[in-house]
């Protein structure tokens, strides 16, 4: 598949048979983008699901991410080969640096050089970053050149809209991919989102996914329920009004969920 679909299936925190079944269910429902990572420990199960689905490789968009402990020059490319072996693929469609390296031991020039090398070697079709700040994105563009970074995958949901980073990405021509779009389920309890959902005979999740698309943001929700996967996939039946979008925009309160001790200094 040439371009990243609007909607993908996220696999963070999915393990073993649960991961295998969730990805297979998603592919059967119609999802064609699968997002995983070395750190998730489920690349093997994702690969199993892809094989079981019997889908043509060209019909799929597969993303994985290199963990920060594998960013050094001696570990980077071997770790990608290991990921591909687990995924049972000759290449991924998108390879991301999962987190910027948190110390001084590995320079960005070096690990982004390895990322570019992975593309040159045909291990991935596109390269990108995840959890990069504006300053780090600018540095990455300086290192790799304009247009090299396909996406910056960041936490983004109605309660934390990451607007400065989104604007910077748009200015640089970098696609934004939102992870944790449902704020670990918190959207289901929000009065505004429920009211808008009722108005459209939809679910709060469908409302959020429709809002993401209006914003030009790709996203990778996850679910272990085939019913919810189907509902999420069917979000395109929801057409939000300008008022709906404005009300969702107003929910932004900067509530960040993912903030490990090795995270960069956020914008």
Binding-site residues for substrate, in ranges, read: 98
- Going by the annotation, the residues of the binding site are 98
40 assigned to active site: yes
Report the alpha-carbon distance of residue 21 to residue 27 in Å, rounded.
10
**Which residue of the set 40, 101, 179, 235 is catalytic?**
40
Which residues carry out catalysis?
Answer: 40
């Amino acid at each position: 598949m040439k371009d990243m679909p609007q909607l993908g299936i996220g696999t963070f925190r999915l393990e073993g048979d649960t991961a295998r079944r969730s990805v297979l269910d998603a592919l059967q429902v119609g999802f064609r983008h699968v997002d995983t990572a070395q750190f998730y420990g489920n690349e093997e199960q994702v690969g199993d699901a892809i094989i079981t689905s019997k889908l043509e490789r060209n019909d799929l968009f597969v993303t994985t991410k290199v963990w920060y402990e594998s960013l050094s020059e001696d570990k980077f490319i071997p770790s990608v080969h290991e990921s591909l072996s687990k995924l049972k693929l000759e290449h991924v469609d998108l390879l991301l640096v999962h987190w910027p390296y948190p110390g001084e031991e590995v320079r960005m020039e070096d690990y982004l050089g390895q990322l570019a090398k992975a593309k040159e070697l045909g291990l991935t079709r596109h390269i990108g970053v995840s959890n990069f700040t504006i300053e780090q994105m600018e540095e990455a563009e300086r290192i790799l050149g304009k247009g090299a970074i396909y996406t910056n995958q960041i936490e983004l949901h109605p309660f934390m809209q990451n607007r400065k980073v989104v604007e910077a990405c748009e200015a640089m021509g970098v696609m934004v991919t939102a992870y944790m779009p449902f704020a670990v389920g918190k959207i289901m309890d929000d009065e505004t989102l429920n009211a808008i959902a009722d108005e459209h005979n939809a679910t709060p999740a469908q409302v959020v996914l429709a809002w993401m698309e209006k914003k030009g943001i790709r996203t990778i929700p996850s679910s272990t329920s085939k019913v919810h996967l189907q509902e999420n996939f069917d979000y395109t039946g929801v057409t939000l009004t300008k008022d709906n979008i404005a009300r969702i925009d107003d929910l932004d309160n900067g509530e960040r969920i993912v903030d490990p001790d090795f995270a960069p200094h956020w914008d």
